[in-house]
Structure 1
Amino acid sequence: MASDLEQLCTYVNEKIENIKKILLIRNLGQDPALKTTLSKIGDEIITINELLNKLELEIQYQEQTNISLKELCESLEEEFKDVEHLKEHVPVHLPQVTQSLVHKPDLDPKESVKVEEPVPQKKPPKQQRVIKEMHFITTDEFDGVPAYMKSRLTYCQINDVIKEINNAVVSKYKIIHQPKSSMSSVKRKLYQRFINEETKDTKGHHFIVEADVKEFTPLKVDKKFHVIMSILRHCQRLSEVRGGGLTRYVIT
């Protein structure tokens, strides 16, 4: 019982001391000689608070930059591996272009000149069709995208989507350019869909629709996907042709 009373007395005494200190500080604040000093201290506290807020924003920006750089490094490492693979698997039997200078001796006018028959020219090979792909965006273009548009998206995330879109474009137009006689039933159905989706505005252009993205890529056609499409449209990598309930993303 005595111990409880002692603790209670100690608690009450501490509260009384705190009240005394508060009253003392309040009285000091009313002293004209100290008002200027207290006002300066208040201004300094506000300045420090603003600096802390800026520091917090800078830390967040640096963290996001660090994440983007890590993703960029990973992407570059993958590209480097691809380049190394290509270097190690260059075909050994590549056609060599050689040019030799043949010295023609002076001919005696009396000698008959043997005229060689011209060698018939081989028929030129059939020209391969070029499938247009989307160029990756640059860091300057990414920096020029409004902040409200790109939100938390990073430079690498957008280029990763471009890579998948190019895969979809190539896969689609390989089927379109394939002879019908060699098509499977699945590819025939896809081919027919591709043709049905053509319009006069897309004639002569390469484009995909959301169904192609789902068919040929692992991308999810969600809100994030449509935000990236808006960014690519802003960077003039594609345009949209709408009609018949479809949005056609035309590669520009």
Structure 2
Amino acid sequence: MASSDLEDLCSHINTKILTIKKTLQLRNMGQEPSLKSVLCKIGHEMFLLNDLLNKMEIEVEHQEKLKNSLKEMQESFERDYNEAQHLCENIPPHLPKAIPKCTVGLIVKSEEQCKAAEPECVKKPTKEPKFIKEAPLITAQEFEGVPAYMRGRLTYVQINGVVQDLNKAVVSKYKILHQPMKSMSSAVRNLYHRFLEEETKDTKGILF
């Protein structure tokens, strides 16, 4: 046997003997009354430390879930922001007009003022204004609902342009029909009579 192998074997045996000695010393120390209380305290502290580590592990998992939830929320906010930015940058040039609503308010101050104004109201009855109904412009959502083969023929702007021209023609026609005869010029009067002649029993009283 080589000398190096013998030295390694002796070193290994000495290490084992040293370990056995330390184990015996520790066992003897644990049996001493003065050290039992210390060992109990160390065991209790180890138990508390283990419990604390478990709680920290649970808290770390909770924070990880919270971080993932906040990340998803941030991505959702970013998507909504990008969509809102896109809508702001691509507002359609024509939007549907709101239908005007006419409200009449009457303020009564006193009975004497009402009686004083009564003859005046009888002499000059107020005429209710006649509103001319216009065709509403199409919305972007309505335009998207049109089949693709038809959308390629006219653009969204062109369609609303035609609707606006039709509304102008309708407003001009019914302004003439609602205008008093005394205030008409000869050319306007001719148009007025032509509009009346174009009416039939099926279209009379119906708006264009």
**Normalised by the size of structure 2, how large is the TM-score?**
0.48
Structure with greater helix share of residues: 2
Higher relative contact order (CA 8 A, sep 6+): 1
